[in-house]
Amino acid sequence: MSTGQQTPTEQQSLSEEYRRRESSITLSSESAGQGETHELLTINIGPHHPSTHGVLRLLATLEGEVVRDIKPIVGYVHTGIEKTAEDKAYWKVIPVVERMDYLSYYFNAMAFCGAVESLLGIEVPPRAQYLRVIHLELNRIASHLVWLGTSALDLGAISMFWYTFRDRELVLDLFEMSSGQRMHTRYIQVGGVFEDIPRGFERKLRQFLKLMPTRADQYADLFEKNQIVIERLRNTGVVDRDTLLKLGVTGPLLRAAGEPWDLRKAHPYSSYDHFDFKIPVGTVGDNYDRFRVRHAEFYESVKIVEQALDGLPEGPFITTDRKVALPPRHELATSMEALIHHFKLVTEGFRVPTGEAYYPIESPRGELGCFVRSDGSAKPARVHMRDPSFVNLQALEPMVKDGYIADLIATLAMLDPILGGIDR
Amino acid sequence: MPDATELELTAQELRDVHSESILDTSFHRDRATLIANPKLIREVLGHLQGKGYTMIASLHGVDYYPEEPRLGVLYEMLDMKRVDRISVKARVSIDDPHIPSVVDMFPTADFPEREVYDMFGVVFDGHPDLRRILMPEDYEGYPQRRDFPVGGEPVLFTYNEEQGYGKYA
């Protein structure tokens, strides 16, 4: 084609031709032996491979181009975060656990703080809950933006990456404004949040909320109007709902298969029941649905943040319980009691009554649960994160088995595993 | 979450079927826990599965040092229809850290059981592929146990690289 332009009919016929040739290839399993014609080839993908989204190693057994078996091997970025957490006072654990799933740091902090709060039995003020929701949903948008950009990169489309990272910068700027950090913000504290939102934050956030839906429309156009992307995603990596449920898969992967399971609706925490939003679900459970579900969550997250910003209640942004939260700075100059509280908190930290708690929340990848066991001291006796990436990775085998190796890359991109969360 | 009464009723149901299955119950800050006999853990989880708790949301290990029996395996069961959670705890000792695997009943338990084995040394009998998952294959010791020190691993520099560590140290 000299002009580079294709008419719809030409596109149609090209697509049909492609489909015809594709269907002529048989995926039926022939007994794979040692013969000259079908021999199994075991290859190693990763751990240092750009399309594995981190340091994931895959042992793939191939018959020609068809994946017959796959074994994910993890642990390359295991840093013993759960062990380290046992050696730190409760509030010093927050920055440590934030580094597990490094794209959804607010969620890690939220799960941990929620578990500690339920052990302490303290109430979080309404304003803090709303501020948490605003930041959690912004973080969800940022996390999905990284997923969208890197997934497109795996499918061979580089421009999407620049666009999504451009918009992620806007979210990171907002994080920097409210907490002073762009990543691993330590914004969510036990009992509330670290600081109230600064002046000018609301204006900047509203600008972003106005911009984001139009940007999401553009992404949809970039993907939807690209025949190659559609061909690569549609009907690849299909796994039905029941298999996913058995494998414990949660989050967008499960919703793409038609199960409307979302903890924000099913078991609301942090005032999620105050907001009006929908749960996007898919029908088939293929890679295209996974893209669609996550993409639709951009709009829903924007809606939630808008409502939270409109209805932001007045009041304290952190609990007034001085045994848990630091007293305001100005009190230190006048109140001896405040000084004692400050000193106790900064040196020893606060003690948590004996007990165990499991606090699940809906992270961008599924159910993120934090288990905390307290033995009554100022350090947790056990911190465990049920990371959705770790559990969801078990679904990789049914997703890619008896499919092409090219679809393996697409499926892995749509699975969206974060190795920091898997290995902890 | 089931309330304290419902928890007791569930425990009684289980005791009616297998008299030895439930050793104790605990209800603390809205968290309902069944303390199960590790030998009968498959029966307990199977019964709960039949009651609607079809998913193990999380499976993790805990070291209760210095209490005995030291190790605990926790199953956070989830009923997705009623949106209800109940946790099952089975305690095993360091000397005989064996518990039946539930991978065939709950395929989601595969990786988490391997992690508990890796970190605490709990052996899940009947697991199809019980290997270390996060630590290196040839690693010795169980790092999440409370008597394993933080930083118990020597850092390799040029002056001590000859000595190595682990099995060949």
CA A253, chain centre distance (Å): 11
The whole-number average pLDDT for the span A334-354 is: 90
CB contact under 8 A, B111 and A391: yes
Question: Which residue do the tokens 């949040």 mark?
Answer: A193
User: How many helices (H) and strands (E) in chain A?
Assistant: 17, 8
Concatenated DSSP letters of B95-149: SS-EEE--TTT-GGGHHHHHHHHHHH--EEET-TT---SSS-TT--S-TTSTTSP
Cβ atoms of A372 and A385 within 8 Å: the answer is no
CA B108, chain centre distance (Å): 13
pLDDT of residue A1: 40
Task: Give the pair of three-digit tokens for residue A76.
Answer: 């390359």
> How far is the C-alpha of B81 from the C-alpha of B79, rounded, in Å?
6
Complex ipTM > 0.90: no
Beta-bridged to residue A382, according to DSSP, are: A373
CB contact under 8 A, B30 and A118: yes
Beta-bridged to residue B72, according to DSSP, are: B62, B91
Asked if pLDDT for residue B83 goes beyond 90, the answer is no
Task: Give, in degrees to the nearest 5, the angle at Cα A327 between A325 and A332.
Answer: 155
Question: Would you place residue A66 in the very low, low, confident or very high pLDDT band (cuts 50, 70, 90)?
Answer: confident
Cα distances (Å, whole numbers) of residue A391 to A5, A318, A370, B85: 45, 33, 14, 18
- Give helix A90-98 / helix A105-120 axis angle, nearest 10°: 150
Mutation to test the A interface, candidates B49, B55, B73, B89, most A Cβ within 10 Å: B55
Q: What's the pLDDT tens digit per position in A29-59?
A: 555 555 556 678 888 887 887 777 778 888 8
CB contact under 8 A, A357 and B31: yes
DSSP H helices in A286-358: 287-310, 336-347
The whole-model pTM stands at 0.88
Task: Show Cβ contacts of residue A268 under 8 Å, excluding neighbours closer than 6 positions.
Answer: none
Nearest to B142 by CA among B75, B71, B47: B71
Task: Give the Cβ contact number of residue B83 at 10 Å.
Answer: 13
Q: What's the pLDDT tens digit per position in A167-226?
A: 999 999 999 999 988 889 889 999 899 888 999 999 999 999 999 999 999 999 888 888
CB contact under 8 A, B110 and A386: no
Mutation to test the A interface, candidates B24, B29, B49, B70, most A Cβ within 10 Å: B29
Give the rounded percent of residues in chain A with a pLDDT score beyond 70. 94
Asked if pLDDT for residue B43 goes beyond 80, the answer is yes
Is residue A226 helix, strand or coil? coil
Is residue B13 helix, strand or coil? helix
Question: Would you place residue A2 in the very low, low, confident or very high pLDDT band (cuts 50, 70, 90)?
Answer: very low
Write out chain A residues lying below 8 Å of B60, CB-based.
371, 384, 386
Asked if A245 is an interface residue toward chain B (Cβ–Cβ < 8 A), one would say yes
Q: B60: number of CA atoms within 13 Å, CB side? A: 26
Question: Which residue do the tokens 């839906």 mark?
Answer: A213
Asked if A75 is an interface residue toward chain B (Cβ–Cβ < 8 A), one would say yes
Question: H or E segment at B22?
Answer: strand B22-28
Cβ atoms of B2 and B84 within 8 Å: the answer is yes
pLDDT of residue A23: 73
Torsion of CA B133, B136, B138, B141, to 10 degrees: -80
Which chain B residue's Cα is nearest to A82?
Answer: B144
Task: Give the pair of three-digit tokens for residue A200.
Answer: 């000018």
DSSP H helices in A121-269: 126-154, 159-179, 201-224, 227-233, 241-246, 252-256, 263-266
Q: What's the pLDDT tens digit per position in A85-123?
A: 998 999 899 999 999 988 999 999 999 999 999 999 898
Is residue A387 helix, strand or coil? coil
A285 backbone dihedrals φ, ψ, rounded to 5°: 90, 30
Question: H or E segment at A341?
Answer: helix A336-347
> How far is the C-alpha of A329 from the C-alpha of A339, rounded, in Å?
9
pLDDT of residue A97: 92
Task: Show Cβ contacts of residue A214 under 8 Å, excluding neighbours closer than 6 positions.
Answer: none
pLDDT of residue A62: 85
Residue among B108, B146, B148 minimizing CB distance to A248: B108
Asked if A360 is an interface residue toward chain B (Cβ–Cβ < 8 A), one would say yes
Task: Show Cβ contacts of residue A144 under 8 Å, excluding neighbours closer than 6 positions.
Answer: A294, A295, A297, A298, A364
